[in-house]
Structures are given as structure tokens and as C-alpha cells.
Amino acid sequence: MWDVLRNRAYRRLFTAQVIALLGTGLATVALGLLAYDLAAGDASAVLGTALAIKMVAYVVIAPVVTALADRVPRRALLVAMDLARAGVVSALPLVEQVWQVYVLVFVLQAASATFTPAFQATVPQILPHRDDYTRALSLSRLAYDLESLVSPVLAAGLLALVPYGRLFTGTGIGFVASALLVASVVIPRPEVVERPGGVFARTTYGLRLYLATPRLRALLAWHMAVAAAGAVVVVDTVGLVRDHLRGDDTDVAVTLGAYGAGSMVVALLLPRIPENRTDRRLLPGAAFGLAATLLVLTVGLAFGAWSRPTLAALWTLLGAFTAVVLTSAGRLVRRSAAPADLPAAFAAQFSLSHACWLITYPVVGWLAATSSTIAAATATGIAAAAAITAAVLQPAEDPPALAHTHVDLSADDPHLADAHPTAHGHRHTHDYVIDHRHRRWPKPAANRS
């Protein structure tokens, strides 16, 4: 996995990603504390709304940027978005009204929604070989897990020395450092992939690819279970620790660190498990594990039989189950798209998975402002429904190669070189993904030779 870091360009881009993620983690802790100061008892509702705004930016902007990203200078775009994010987080400590938080969060996340898909589309250019790209995906997942673990711990240490507003300063420095690293890399001019249709067709191509693939529809349901659990962790940790358990800012950071620790342990163990076993067995188990852990939290809140160590243990479990889903997600998406379509597929993954958070963030945040027990119970219901839905959507058999028949291609199309004519069209078997020649998934009956 670490061999790809020998590539100088990718090494700098990966370092930029890690620095930016650490800064974002500091900002997440600081934003929760800022919401608590501005809104007191309504902090969960304020934070939930702010995070819902973030998800709107992610869901709406990411597909559009991906459709247009190969038509603008990629390096200039990435640097500009890093500098924009640095400017916004530097302004957050100065706000005095809740509405100002909402405006700045939207600008910040619009820049992030522009940066992330463009960054993901750049990596396959730097690492064109499939194996190298796969290793880069694993490193990226590890970087996100490190952010979940290290940022809260780093925040806990800094909060013992400085007020939380300084965490925003650290975030700004991180984005500037990321911009400098990206500026030092020579990024190849992106390959323009021409697809039929106008801007709307190009914008929605990745979404159509994603939703037409059965395994990815199941993955979307698993993402909903992750979003239900993650919303409780992100939105309600401050309130649970500060109000219910009478903890301080350091306790908040340590509790969030427990979630990251669970994720990190699983992320390090999963590569040792065969991919097919992870995807077919562990993913459904992780989704039901998220629902079960949230149920334990709900019961504990209802009866008051819990403490800070208990909460940290539950957060560790939630982090572990979440890592199973998120670590496997990249492999499922990679398996489900042709190399030229990977940027569009990952943009769809980015947008649709965040659409799940767009639902759970405000629901959990607004309910937690009234009752943490009701919020946890609602999240439990969402996670359980998502786990059941995924179990129904997951294909019983999911081999890479599928037999299928083409009825709309001319007989001299190069794609049909190994096909044989039948009464209903030209039939052949190969690793099947949705693309411009394969717009629908074959029905099970069509897969039989």
C-alpha cells in the first residue's frame, strides 16, 4: 500500500490531503463548541442545521464540478479552493450570530465540494495503473481514519493550552499548507471524456451509473445506516458529554477520539480479510451492528444507566462498524465502473452518500435539541430500516462477468468482436459495468449461458 508514496507527485498530493483533513478535524471540534457558546441549549439544532447546509453543498455542487472539472486547469482549481477554505475558517472565530455561521459554513463546504471530487479525479492521472490507484484509495481511507482519531486527540491537547477559537487558526494554516503542496505538483491535463448529451447528461452520468448498479444501490442503503450513527456522534457528542455527563471540552475531544480509534483498528485489520468475504458478509453485519449499538445507547439514555467510559465504548463500536462500510465502499465503486468513468462514479458516491447525511444531520440535530433519547431512538430506527433495505437489495450472486445480449449495437461494433449472434441480438460474456454501451443491468435470467 505504501509503495505509491514513491511517486513524488502523489506523495505531495497525499500529504496535502492529510494536512487538510487534520485541519478539518480541528474545525469540526471547534464548530461544535462555537455552536454551544452561541446557542447554549439549542447547540444540537444549530450544529445539525450547519451540517445540513454542508450536505446541501456536497450533494448539489459535487456532480456539477465533476462534469466540468476536466475543462478547467485542475491545479489552479485545487489551490483556489484550498485558499478559499483557509479564508473562511479564519473568519469563523469572529462571528457573533448564528446566521453568520450558516453563511460561512455554506461557503466553506461549497469550496470543499469543489475540491474533493477534483482531487479524486486527479489521482488516477497521477497513478494511471489500476493496482497503484487501488493502493491510493486504501491510503485515502486510512487518511480519513487518521483524521477521525488524531484530530480529536490533537484538539484535546490544544484545548488544554488555548481557547477553541485557535483551532480555527490551525485549520486555516493547514489549508494554506495544502495549497502550497498542490501548487508544487505538475498535474497532467485531464482527459476529456466526451459523452452524449449536454451539461445535464454529463452532470448526472455518475448518478445514473451508480443507481443502475445493484451492488451500489445496496451500498447506498449501508451509507444511510452509517449516516444515522454518524449524525448522533457528530451532532450530539457535545451535548451528551457537557450536559448529561458534566464533562469538559477535553472530554468531548476524547469521546470523539474513541470513535476514530474504533475506525482505525478496523481499517488496519480489513486488508487482511479477503475482499469477497468483507463485501458479502461483513457489510451486512456492520449495518445491523450500527443499529444494535444505537439501540443500546437509546436504552442507556432512557434509563440513565451509563457513564463517560460507557459512551466512549459505544462510540468505539460505532467507529468500528462505520469503518467496515466506508473501507469497502471504495472497492465496490472501483469494481463497478470502467477506468474512464471512475471520477464520475466516485463523484456520485460522494454526492449520494452525503445525501444520506443531509437527511440524518437535521433530523438528529433538531430532535436532540428536545431529547437526546428521542434522537437516538430515531437514529436506531433509520439504521435498522437501512440495514434491512440493504439486505434486500444486495444481489444473492454477484460475479464480475455476466452474460448479456446487445440489441442496439451495429454488428461491426468492435465491442462485439467476441459475441455470437442470436435471434434477439449479439450475446457475449465479460466483466460487466454500466457505461455508454451497457445502460441497464442484465436481468438474472439473462445471465445464464
CB crowding 98-114: b at 16 or more within 10 Å, else e: beebeebbbbbbbbbbb
CB crowding 320-332: b at 16 or more within 10 Å, else e: bbbbbbbbbbbbb
pLDDT single digits (tens) 211-264:
999 999 999 999 999 999 999 998 888 888 887 787 777 788 788 888 878 887
Residue 329: which residues within 8 A CB-CB, separation 6 or more?
Answer: 219, 222, 223, 349, 353
Q: Please give the torsion angle defined by the CA atoms of residues 296, 52, 244 and 229, in that order, rounded to the nearest 10 degrees.
A: 20
429 DSSP 8-state letter: E
For residue 348, pLDDT beyond 60:
yes
Phi, psi for residue 440 in degrees, rounded to 5: -135, 150
**What gap in Å lies between CA 350 and CA 262, rounded to an integer?**
23
- Amino acid 119: pLDDT: 81
Grade residue 449 by pLDDT with cuts at 50, 70 and 90: very low
- Amino acid 48: pLDDT: 67
Grade residue 39 by pLDDT with cuts at 50, 70 and 90: confident
Grade residue 163 by pLDDT with cuts at 50, 70 and 90: confident
pLDDT single digits (tens) 402-437:
899 998 888 888 888 888 888 888 999 998 999 888
> Among the listed ranges 23-27, 77-81, 97-101, 319-323, which one has the minimum average pLDDT value?
23-27
- pTM above the 0.85 mark? no
With respect to residue 163, please indicate whether it lies within any of the assigned structural domains.
yes
Asked whether the beta carbons of 43 and 249 are under 8 A apart, the reply is no
Sign, CA dihedral 49-51-54-56, equals negative
With respect to residue 440, please indicate whether it lies within any of the assigned structural domains.
no
With respect to residue 399, please indicate whether it lies within any of the assigned structural domains.
no
Cell numbers 497503484: residue: 132
With respect to residue 254, please indicate whether it lies within any of the assigned structural domains.
yes
**What gap in Å lies between CA 135 and CA 330, rounded to an integer?**
11
pLDDT single digits (tens) 280-321:
678 899 999 999 999 999 999 888 767 888 999 999 999 999
With respect to residue 433, please indicate whether it lies within any of the assigned structural domains.
no
With respect to residue 408, please indicate whether it lies within any of the assigned structural domains.
no
- Amino acid 446: pLDDT: 47
244 DSSP 8-state letter: I
Asked whether the beta carbons of 235 and 361 are under 8 A apart, the reply is yes
**What gap in Å lies between CA 271 and CA 330, rounded to an integer?**
13
Q: Is 104 left (phi over 0), alpha (psi -120 to 50) or beta?
A: alpha
> Among the listed ranges 2-16, 17-31, 77-91, which one has the minimum average pLDDT value?
17-31
Number of domains in the chain: 1
- Amino acid 448: pLDDT: 44
Q: DSSP string of 272-304?
A: GS-HHHIIIIIHHHHHHHHHHHHHHHHHHHHHT
Asked whether the beta carbons of 284 and 394 are under 8 A apart, the reply is yes
Asked whether the beta carbons of 332 and 339 are under 8 A apart, the reply is no
- Amino acid 190: pLDDT: 57
Q: What is the mean pLDDT of residues 260-282?
A: 71
Q: What is the mean pLDDT of residues 44-71?
A: 72
**What gap in Å lies between CA 212 and CA 208, rounded to an integer?**
6
With respect to residue 164, please indicate whether it lies within any of the assigned structural domains.
yes
Name which of 402, 368, 408, 269 is nearest 328 in CA terms.
269
> Among the listed ranges 167-176, 336-345, 426-435, which one has the minimum average pLDDT value?
336-345
| Three-point CA angle 210, 187, 13, nearest 5° | 75
Q: What is the mean pLDDT of residues 350-356?
A: 87
- The domain in which residue 209 lies consists of 2-186+198-393
Sign, CA dihedral 434-437-440-446, equals negative
> Between 176 and 444, whose confidence is greater?
176
Cell numbers 465502473: residue: 337
With respect to residue 443, please indicate whether it lies within any of the assigned structural domains.
no
How is the beta sheet containing 425-431 ordered, strand by strand?
Answer: 401-406, 425-431, 420-422
For residue 205, pLDDT beyond 80:
yes
Please report, for the domain that includes residue 162, its CATH number: 1.20.1250.20
